[in-house]
Amino acid sequence: MSTVPAPRELTTRPRLSDRVFRRVVTAGGLSSLVILGLITVFLAYRGVEVLRQEGFNFITKSNWSITTDDAGNVVESHFGLAAMLVGTILCSAVAVVIALPISVATALYLNFYAPPWLKKFLIAVIDMMAAFPSILFGIWGFLVLMPSIEYWAKLLNRYLGFVPVFHVDAYVFTRSPFVAGVILAIMIIPIITSVSREVFSQAPLDRIQAAYALGATRWGMIKAVVIPHGRSGVIGGAMLGLGRAMGETVAVFTVLNIVFQVNWHVLFGVGGNVASLIILKFGEASPYEIKALMAAGLVLFVLTLLVNAIADLIVKTTGKSGK
């Protein structure tokens, strides 16, 4: 016991078949890295000309115009995403503000209130909703939901119109960022709900029972144990939802009235988002305009990556602090 030897260096090599296996799996595992890298490289490569031309104006100005002469050469062009970026943020912010409380309450209901049979059924239904195609939300939102939302939007404007975001310049309530936001909210509720449900279910049982043993009501227990435990996980889930809402294309394009004008008034029927701009302009875009669209795609890509990275970080830190 007096002398402890140094650990042995193990030099045996695994068999050839295992080395091949590990290489193949590693190569496959790196596919996500390769794909994400290629996306960045190619979008940047196609968009760099426009980005260089426009500089910061690309994200601060909001006009989208291109003039070509008869030979098809570009005479003059202005590309600025500001209105679309504002619209992206506005729509997805509305979505998260609406979806977050509903999702958290649903997750709490599923974990702590629902009878077991109902819980199973609801989880299946909500998971299923996450698999609904976005074009369905778009068309349903436009034809079915919009009239109802319009009514609520008018109500909000009448009683809360003095709050700047609820102000409207003209009496146009259809196809507003608010409508798009509500539809996006419905689309991201399943995501935030399932993340929240996950973190709530990890709340330590001993602490839950301790709270009950101290005479806490169910809500008291949730406030004292579950919410503090799950808070950052829920925020992470909301960020994931935000990322999804920012990248949504077809549903937003279907309901939103896309106009190149910076509009911070959620109820006013003018807006846009980067993804739907790409769909809108792609059909008749000239080669140079396509480059601008690629640059817009790059901006959107970086934005969603950023939001997702932050979300991932937040969700991970809860996992650790909770134990």
- Residue 159 sits in the site that holds other proteins (CB under 8 A): no
DSSP helix/strand/coil, 273: coil
Query: Given the rule CB under 8 A, which of 70-78, 139-147, 163-171, 202-210 is the region that contacts other proteins?
Result: 139-147
Work out whether 212 is an interface residue with other proteins (CB under 8 A): no
Position 27 contacts other proteins (CB under 8 A): yes
Tell me which of 87, 177, 230, 247 binds other proteins, using CB under 8 A: 247
CA quadruple 55, 60, 63, 67: dihedral, nearest 10: -10
**DSSP conformation letters of 277-304:** HHHHHHTT--HHHHHHHHHHHHHHHHHH
Among 180, 184, 240, 314, binds other proteins (CB under 8 A): 240
Q: Is 24 an interacting residue with respect to other proteins (CB under 8 A)? A: yes
Q: How many chain residues touch other proteins (CB under 8 A)?
A: 99
Contact 146, 255 (CB under 8 A): yes
Interface with other proteins in residues 176-195 (CB under 8 A): 186, 189, 193
CA distances from 203 to 165, 191, 217, 226 (A): 37, 19, 17, 6
By rule CB under 8 A, what string of x and - marks binding of each residue 28-67 to other proteins?
xxxxxx-xx-xx--xx-xx---------------------
Task: Look at residues 248, 235, 237 and name the one whose alpha carbon lies nearest to residue 187.
Answer: 248
Q: State in angstroms the smallest separation of the CB of 180 from other proteins.
A: 15
Q: Assess contact for 129 and 221: CB atoms under 8 A.
A: no
**Minimum gap (Å) between residue 205 Cβ and other proteins:** 19
Any alpha helices (H) in 109-249, and if so which ranges? 116-130, 134-140, 146-160, 177-201, 205-213, 218-221, 227-247
Rounded least distance, CB 16 to other proteins, Å? 9
Q: Is 82 in the site for other proteins (CB under 8 A)?
A: no
